[in-house]
A and B are shown apart, each in its own frame.
Chain A
């Protein structure tokens, strides 16, 4: 194998599994250390830099970082990254002085952002400090998009939304509520320098089965949640069937329980393991005694005396092959399940009836706009997409990342720069050695298991729709949970010319990551390491030929716990623990220095 190129920021970035897994590259270990030191405001600002909505995301993020977290491989459960984010938000002081501010003078460029969801808000957050005149058009009378209309208040209190959205709007954004854009053509005539489409994927999928339109007790999940949020809907029948087992279904079933339902069944077509909902959402729903019935494929709506009485399902049988793939299944019988209401929660679609098809915006065969994944620009110059409107429904953190990238592009577009000529990611490394055996981070492995989030008592939480169920970690829990983080950003960095091949590092490594061995092909090397490197997703760090024997030092990154013992036992400092900081460019970094200074404003940089 060739020596690993550690000058490419990607290499060490990938070692920080959570940060690599986070679409917005939040520097998780950095903010967890800040929390450990009681620096909640710093931790909040560190989060805000990349994910803009720490208080919101600390409650409802889809948390792709957690399945990626190294701790989950070393032990069973990942670090409670997401809920630690909430700790930073809950305990921050007044940070208004540290927020970016718009300069006194605008730069004369006008941008229009469509929709006041998280995608558009991120663009506003990034462009307003550079002097852009930002106008947001929102169809509804309120901001936040699905975060407000669909994510129930018992998961995400409106106060949290208002605060964090306020930070952005307060920079002087021109917000036009109740202003639906009906024609892209008309909008373009208003002379904006760039347009961002952050209108989401607003159409709930329908289920065209016999009897679908013969009752008003059959609801489309996202529309129904919205009408609950706006208090148009205040009750539901005693027996409710939720069709689908994705995230929307989880919110629908739990909301039903708060509107008077007593018997709520989530009907899944497939067996467990093939559900779209995340494990923790399933757990939360099941804790509330929601029943999940697997292998039920909906067939028709059943009526008695003209009234919706239940639904008929095919009972399915599936075969799962060796690779874990499931077939289409065969029906083994039928069953009718009685109910009063049915909620369809089987997904969302994009819909752009208001975008004319003859203005140079190309649409693909699914009727979605064709959008460049790097620049977020569509086929018509100056129009950008992001969030659910770009590539279909995803989640908040993806919408935020799209917003950051679109903001860079919009800035470059407005300044007539090449959109593809973007600043690359950077990397800083600094040694963490403090003394003979002292490191500037907490390197001792703490065997504590993941802390459990305390919840409001089961009975009490149903009293009102908006009682937030999760209470947040206690101080004791925070102290334990922060120590579970392995500080994956404190990298093991190797300098081959210093190595005398004494084996000290190899012998001390608790998880057998290190081997000195003759070089070879990757597959073959993986099989003859001190412990076999069985996870191909995780890199091997391979040195150049060692001075004494021309063998190579190989490190399997998979299970390294970053305890620093290799560096501590190394007599020559060939291994060193160095903190990597991945430098992620934002729109401000692309701006001219004087603009940047203005943007930094009161923020503590």
Chain B
């Protein structure tokens, strides 16, 4: 923990976004996480992403559960809304919030323990509902907050700081999400902001459930030799398969892309992402290929990163339920509560 606050002064040539804000305006309080924790880099990437997307702070909802990772929302956009829920229950609280107000941007920040151990049921159903949110997992293979026990994402053979290596089969959140029908699945690394920031932006703008699984090393309990979630191991084995460039609706596609390497994908809101394939043969719009790739590369010991799968066709939660466009939170009380006469009428239909 740091005693002093981050000084208020900033670099005079810091760029401003369309709201006239700088990245400094999207900061939160100074992190209380361990110095060097990957989660803090993810926070920095989140700040950069929401800044670049010109998101109005009061239209952002930061959702989380319990864990070091779940403390992240305190460290970005102080002026946004936030909910720090019970361990593993962030998806259901977000579902409720989104049900009430579909106009806001929902960013959930969770951990591998929060999402894949205690909260795995919640995680699964958020995907099934295609909840329109950006779901970030800061994945470090351990329960950092409770001092480093293996989580459900620990790889077989990964060594703890003390004790025996993990022997249980890991849950890979990307493969799980793919199986469950998630429509935007990405993986990245806290130490690779160039790749991570556009992936977060795409995830926020994508309509429906977007998963960003970020390898985010725990410097204190899982950054030693023999750990498969350390900085050194991740750097050695991680591979880009398909990166993206996010294109704001007000911008033209300016960069020139070699044929076959690039693939523009138009999102619902009018934004475009351009897929830049590192592996030319790979088609991230094919669920079957994504399955194959994830399994093969995992077996080869590689950490595949980038936009692994995207499908912009499936309806998100409110569309699936045919709800009105106006957020329920903005309807007058009478609209939400038709009265006991109406209730009686409705009930009589089932008698």
A437 CB-CB contact with B under 8 Å: yes
- Complex Cα–Cα for A438 and B1 (A): 11
- Are A511 and B11 CB-contacts (below 8 A) given A437-B2, A504-B41, A563-B4? yes
Candidates B3, B36, B44; contact of A571 at CB < 8 Å: B36
The reply to whether A572 and B36 form a contact with Cβ atoms under 8 Å apart is yes
Chain A interface mostly helix, strand, loop or mixed?
loop
A569 to B235, CA, bound (A): 21
- Interface contact tally, CB-CB below 8 A: 99
Residue in contact with B9 in the complex, picked from A75, A437, A532, CB distance below 8 Å: A75
Q: Is A559 an interface residue (CB 8 A)?
A: yes
Q: Which of A504, A531, A548, A563 has the largest count of B CB atoms less than 10 A from its CB?
A: A504
A443 to B5, CA, bound (A): 11
Partner of A531, one of B2, B13, B190, B232: B13
Contact with A along B319-344 (1 / 0, CB 8 A): 00000000000000000000000000
A453 close to B (CB within 8 Å): no
Q: Which single residue of chain A is at the shortest CB-CB distance from B41? A: A503
Nearest residue (CB) in B for A512 is B11
Output the least CB separation between B120 and chain A (Å).
Answer: 28
Q: Which of B1-48 contact A (CB under 8 A)?
A: 1-14, 24, 30, 34-38, 40-41, 43-44
Residues of A487-512 whose CB lies within 8 A of B: 500-504, 506-508, 510-512
Q: Which residues of B contact A559 (CB under 8 A)?
A: 11-12
A507, B36: Cα distance in complex, Å: 10
Complex alpha-carbon distance, A504 and B31, angstroms: 10
- The answer, yes or no, to whether B193 is at the interface (CB within 8 Å) is yes
- Contact code string A69-84 (vs B, CB < 8 Å = 1, else 0): 0000011000000000
Interface assignment of B219: CB less than 8 Å from any CB of chain A: yes
Q: Known contacts A437-B1, A502-B231; is A507 also within 8 Å of B223 by CB?
A: no
The answer to whether A507 touches B44 (Cβ under 8 A) is: yes
Shortest CB distance B142–A (Å): 16
A571 to B7, CA, bound (A): 21
B36 partner residues in chain A, CB cutoff 8 A: 500, 502, 504, 569-572
Is B198 an interface residue, CB under 8 A from the partner? no
Q: Please report the C-alpha to C-alpha distance between residue A559 and residue B38 in the assembled complex, in whole angstroms.
A: 26
Is A445 a contact of B13 with CB atoms below 8 Å? Answer: no
Chain B residues within an 8 Å CB radius of A561: 7, 9
Contact A512 B191 (CB under 8 A): no
Given A500-B223, A565-B4, A570-B35, residue A511 in contact with residue B232 (CB < 8 A): no
Count residues of chain B with CB under 8 A from any CB of chain A: 34
In the assembled complex, which residues on chain B have CB atoms less than 8 Å from the CB atom of A568?
Answer: 2, 35
Please provide the chain A residues from 403 to 462 with a CB less than 8 Å away from any CB of chain B in the complex.
437-438, 443-445, 447
Is A278 interfacial (CB 8 A cutoff)?
no
A512 to B235, CA, bound (A): 24
B44 (CB) vs chain A CBs: closest residue: A507
A466 to B9, CA, bound (A): 43
Q: Is B217 interfacial (CB-CB < 8 Å)?
A: yes
- Which residue from A74, A443, A502, A512 sits with its C-beta under 8 Å from B217? A502
Which residue of chain B has its CB nearest to the CB of A443?
Answer: B4
A447:B231 contact, CB within 8 angstroms:
no
Contact between A507 and B11 (Cβ–Cβ < 8 Å)?
Answer: no
Q: Which residues of A contact B219 (CB under 8 A)?
A: 500, 502, 571
Taking A504-B35, A504-B41 as contacts, is the C-beta distance between A510 and B7 under 8 angstroms? yes
The answer to whether A549 has its CB under 8 Å from any CB of chain B is: yes
Tell me if A534 counts as interface (CB < 8 A to partner B).
yes
Interface-central residue, B3, B217, B231, by most chain A CB under 10 Å: B3
A508-520 CB contact bits vs B (8 Å, 1 = yes)?
1011100000000
**A503 to B48 alpha-carbon distance, docked (Å):** 14
Evaluate whether A508 and B6 lie within 8 angstroms (CB atoms) in the complex, with A502-B41, A531-B14, A548-B231 already known.
yes
**CB-based nearest A residue for B219:** A571
B38: A residues at CB distance < 8 A: 502
How distant is B196 from chain A, measured CB to nearest CB, in Å? 11
CB distance from B81 to the nearest CB of A (A): 23
Which residue of chain B has the shortest Cβ distance to A502 in the bound complex? Answer: B36
B194 to nearest A CB, angstroms?
A: 10
B37 — which chain A residues lie within 8 A by C-beta? 502, 504, 571
Given contacts A500-B231, A507-B41, contact A445 B2 (CB under 8 A): no
Complex Cα–Cα for A437 and B6 (A)? 14
- Specify the chain B residue showing the minimal Cβ separation from A532: B13
Min CB–CB distance B56 → chain A (angstroms): 23
Q: Is the CB–CB distance between B9 and A511 below 8 Å? A: yes
Instruction: Give, as a whole number of angstroms, the nearest-CB distance from B10 to chain A.
Output: 6
Contact with B along A555-586 (1 / 0, CB 8 A): 00001010101001111100000000000000
- The answer to whether A445 and B34 have CB atoms under 8 Å apart is no
Residues of chain B within 8 A of A565, CB atoms compared: 2, 4, 6
Known contacts A500-B223, A504-B35, A531-B14; A445/B9 CB under 8 A:
yes
Q: Which residues of A contact B231 (CB under 8 A)?
A: 500-502, 548
The chain A residues found within 8 Å of chain B, CB to CB, are 74-75, 437-438, 443-445, 447, 500-504, 506-508, 510-512, 531-532, 534, 548-549, 559, 561, 563, 565, 568-572
Lowest 10 A-B CB distances belong to which pairs?
A571-B36, A445-B7, A507-B44, A531-B11, A502-B36, A444-B4, A503-B41, A510-B7, A571-B35, A569-B35
Residue pairs across A and B with Cβ atoms less than 8 A apart, 29 shown, are A74-B9, A438-B3, A444-B4, A445-B4, A500-B223, A500-B231, A501-B191, A501-B235, A502-B37, A502-B41, A502-B190, A502-B217, A502-B219, A503-B44, A503-B190, A504-B36, A504-B37, A504-B40, A508-B2, A510-B8, A510-B9, A510-B10, A510-B24, A548-B231, A559-B11, A565-B2, A568-B2, A569-B2, A569-B35
Give 6 A-B pairs besides A500-B36, A571-B36 with Cβ atoms closer than 8 angstroms.
A502-B231, A503-B191, A507-B44, A510-B7, A569-B40, A570-B35
